[in-house]
Amino acid sequence: MLNQTVLTGNLGQDPEVFFTSEGNPIAKFSLAFRASKKKTAWIKVVCFGRLAEITEKYLHSGARVGIIGTLDENTWETDEGVKKSSFQLICNSLEFIKTDRRGFENDEDGTPF
């Protein structure tokens, strides 16, 4: 089965970055995207490794990006025994569409990669 999702949207907040016990970066943020002509939907996005580093340095609330990734479902049970689930998008590829150029000023040629 193929699990590939392509979304274009805007970051809802600055990325939250943390590190694994091995020191590997992980970046998380919410992405707003148009689900229909009249509806905006949100999904959590997770980036690992180099993509997390790029996300931390160059992306910010409101930035518009294109993301290719895989959907991952999280399931859990509340203390009351109610089963819950949510989806997140694991980022495999990231394209900048519009940013305020934050983070670019220190790069020699103005590009992140």
pLDDT score for 106? 55
Longest CA pairwise span in the chain (Å): 55
pLDDT tens digits, 11-60: 999 999 999 999 999 999 999 999 888 999 999 999 999 999 999 999 99
Q: How many CA atoms lie within 13 A of 113 on its CB side?
A: 9
- Class level of CATH domain 5-102: mainly beta
Residue 110 has pLDDT above 80, yes or no: no
pLDDT score for 2? 81
Q: Identify the sign of the CA torsion 10, 16, 19, 20.
A: negative
Taking residue 98's Cβ as centre, other Cβ atoms within 10 Å add up to: 10
Which pTM value belongs to this model? 0.82
CA–CA separation, 106 vs 110, rounded Å? 8
The β-bridge relationship of strands 83-98 and 39-48 is parallel
What's the chain's length in residues? 113
